[in-house]
Amino acid sequence: MMLRYDRCTYSYGRRKRPVLDEFTYEVQQGLTVLLGPNGAGKSTLLRLGASVTTPRSGRVALGRLKGGSREFRRAVAWMPQNIAPVPSLTAREYVAYVGWLKGMSRSDAWDAARDALRRVELGDKENERTNNVSGGQLRRIGVAGSLVHGARVLLLDEPTAGMDPRQRRVFRDLLRGLSENVAVLLSTHDVADLAEEADQVAVLESGRLLHSGTADSFLAHCPPDVPSARAAEGAYSAVLEGAPGSLL
206 occurs within a structural domain: yes
129 occurs within a structural domain: yes
248 occurs within a structural domain: no
Distance of CA 226 to the CA centre of its chain: 29
Band of residue 195 on the pLDDT scale cut at 50, 70, 90: low
246 occurs within a structural domain: no
Residues whose CB falls within 8 Å of the CB of residue 223, separated by 6 or more in sequence, listed in order:
234, 238
18 occurs within a structural domain: yes
Q: Is the pLDDT of residue 248 over 50?
A: no
Among the listed ranges 29-43, 149-163, 221-235, which one has the minimum average pLDDT value? 149-163
163 occurs within a structural domain: yes
pLDDT in tens, 19-33: 999 999 999 999 999
DSSP 35-48: E--TTSSHHHHHHH
More confident: 238 or 1: 238
161 occurs within a structural domain: yes
Query: Domain range holding 94?
Result: 3-241
Q: How many CA atoms lie within 13 A of 179 on its CB side?
A: 23
Question: Considering the entire predicted model, what is its pTM?
Answer: 0.87
The CATH number of the domain holding residue 143 is: 3.40.50.300
d(CA 91, CA 88): 10
3-state class of 59 per DSSP?
strand
* First-residue to last-residue Cα distance in the chain: 37
Q: Considering its fold, how many domains does the chain have in total?
A: 1
151 occurs within a structural domain: yes
Q: Is the pLDDT of residue 153 over 80?
A: yes
The CA-atom distances, in angstroms, between 171 and each of 13, 136, 163, 167, 186 are 36, 8, 9, 6, 12
